[in-house]
Structure 1
Amino acid sequence: MDFLECSGKVALVTGGAQGIGAAVVEALAKLGMVVAAIDYNAEKLNGHVSNLKSQGLDVHAFAADVSDGRAIVGIVDGIERDLGPIETLVNVAGVLRTGLIESFSDEDWAKIFAVNTTGVFNVSRSVSTYMMTRKSGSIVTVGSNAASVPRISLGAYAASKAAAVMFTKCLGLELAQYNIRCNIVSPGSTDTEMQWSMWNDENGAQAVINGMPETFKVGIPLNKIASPSDIVNAILFFISNQSNHITMSNLCVDGGATLGA
């Protein structure tokens, strides 16, 4: 895949301090893009960005919570002013809180939607306003295969991701007239900190691969958990010219775990 068209362009990535977000930041920077990374964890973000800078990559850290709309507007305005026009936005920032609905707290419910849904709205709205004036751009939201399949103890997370998926499709419909494409990449179980947090012991990965009938969770037909690079490659496809006639699409990258549902 030829990514020469990406070189020198500005990309904004949320959730850039760890997991899939950190992998996206590194991949885009190595393609020659100027990458602005947002994350609420300033220490992890600065460490990751410093490491990439030491490799000669053009990466910039912005510590912020995507649920803070005012802060996001200020950051996006600053990136446009100081780094250049944002050509690519990748919404990765997300949080996970698990628990049965009957005992799920108001605080956890609010936090999940504030980051996973409102955060996508905040950043996408700010960035797309600039993209509309240029009639160019690509937005990719990282969803989840949980958005399309009910899961026990994941009611809030699944609902927040489903909302983010539908928001991104509606955004894509509104922005199509401006030649701005909006797509979704929906991972399944991926080898990241978020996935590890759900494992009970060192056999957690195999349990996920095998499936858990007691919670109605199907296993993974490809018999492996995704690596962050598997998700990154799908995102790269959507931001490249290879997908210049694709918008409002949701690409599920889960090894077949949702059986195409």
Structure 2
Amino acid sequence: MSAGTELAGRLALVTGAGRGIGEAVVAALVEQGARVLATDLAFENVTALAEKYGEQVTVRPLDVTDAAAVEALVAEAERTLGPLDIAVNVAGVLRSSDVLDLTDEDWAATFAVNTNGVFHVSRSVARRMAGRGRGSIVTVASNAAGIPRAGLAAYAASKAAAVMFTKCLGLEVASRGVRCNTVSPGSTLTDMQRALWTASTDQEEATRRVIEGDLATHRTGIPLGRIADPADIADAVVFLVSDRARHITMHDLYVDGGATLRA
């Protein structure tokens, strides 16, 4: 997306902003003129953003699983930076395991971030947005929320819950001018994706397998023939929070190159 002023004057909160899709979302929002409050559990991952973008980006550590910490941060942001116009839930974790080997701790930890974290952040910002009669919330989910994936039961289930939660929230606050949507990426070149490639030390080979699919695990390939770049996901997010999407809410936008055949 070319630089512009589409989001000039707006303040956005982004979780999981330290790398991957979250970092790309921050860059895309800044490019369109927004000020951004970039947060991450690993604070060292976001400090470089403040150095790179200057006053346009404020960084704070945030554990989205801690409801009190989320509420305190949102309250501080609104007091010191101004009203939040945009919130983007990117923070997420992936712990891959077949269900028969999945531990209680891995299941709980996955839902704590991917589902509870979305609830904590969305609830806090939506209360304020609804009172002002405007705002946009986008949750970055996954195409795994809509199609079964071997070894990803906890991740897929947590993302499916986040999608439906965001739609229900969107229904409740639509009459008060707040739009709530989700973006569901497929395979994207991030550290999370690379962590799934540990069985192969050859990135080119691992990439080919993702694009072509895997009959043994009932995984479809990617019809467009490429793995997404984080910027592809960020561009979808920026569209949904912009006025170009002013009549779109409760929508789940798949950005996966056709990988799920929109099942």
TM superposition score normalised by structure 2: 0.95
Q: Contact (CA 8 Å) 2:4, 2:31: kept in 1 or not?
A: no
**1:8 to partner: Cα distance:** 1.9
Partner of 1:6: 7
Q: Which amino acid aligns with 1:220?
A: I
Partner of 2:224: 222
Partner of 1:47: 48
Q: Which amino acid aligns with 2:8?
A: S
Q: Which whole-Å deviations, capped at 9, do the CAs of 1:223-244 have from their partners, x for residues lacking one?
A: 1000111111111110111111
Pairing partner for 2:213 from 211, 214, 219: 211
**1:5 to partner: Cα distance:** 4.5
Q: Contact (CA 8 Å) 2:186, 2:228: kept in 1 or not?
A: yes
Q: Distance in 2 between matches of 1:3 and 1:87?
A: 18
Q: Contact (CA 8 Å) 2:6, 2:32: kept in 1 or not?
A: no
Q: Distance in 1 between matches of 2:23 and 2:5?
A: 22
**1:47 to partner: Cα distance:** 2.3
**1:51 to partner: Cα distance:** 2.4
3-state SS of paired residue (2:87): strand
Q: Contact (CA 8 Å) 1:34, 1:58: kept in 2 or not?
A: yes
Partner of 1:68: 66
Aligned residue-pair number: 258
Pairing partner for 1:241 from 221, 240, 243: 243
Q: Distance in 2 between matches of 1:45 and 1:4?
A: 23
**1:6 to partner: Cα distance:** 1.3
Runs of 4+ off more than 6 Å: none
3-state SS of paired residue (2:30): helix
Q: CA RMSD in A?
A: 1.3
Partner of 2:254: 252
Q: Distance in 2 between matches of 1:34 and 1:47?
A: 16
Q: Distance in 2 between matches of 1:246 and 1:111?
A: 32
**1:127 to partner: Cα distance:** 0.4
Q: Distance in 2 between matches of 1:188 and 1:49?
A: 29
**1:32 to partner: Cα distance:** 1.7
Q: Which whole-Å deviations, capped at 9, do the CAs of 1:162-191 have from their partners, x for residues lacking one?
A: 000000000000000101000010000001
**1:9 to partner: Cα distance:** 1.1
- The 5 Å alignment of 1:159-238 reads 159-199=157-197, 200-201=199-200, 202=202, 203-238=205-240
Q: Distance in 1 between matches of 2:6 and 2:222?
A: 35
**1:3 to partner: Cα distance:** 5.8
Q: Distance in 1 between matches of 2:39 and 2:5?
A: 25
Partner of 2:153: 155
3-state SS of paired residue (1:221): coil
Gaps of 5+ in 1: none
- Bigger Cα displacement from structure 2, 39-48 vs 219-228: 39-48
Q: Which whole-Å deviations, capped at 9, do the CAs of 1:151-172 have from their partners, x for residues lacking one?
A: 1100000000000000000000
3-state SS of paired residue (2:85): strand
Q: Which whole-Å deviations, capped at 9, do the CAs of 1:188-245 have from their partners, x for residues lacking one?
A: 0001111011012222111100111111110000010001111111111101111111
Q: Contact (CA 8 Å) 1:49, 1:60: kept in 2 or not?
A: yes
- The 5 Å alignment of 1:69-84 reads 69-84=67-82
- Bigger Cα displacement from structure 2, 145-154 vs 197-206: 197-206
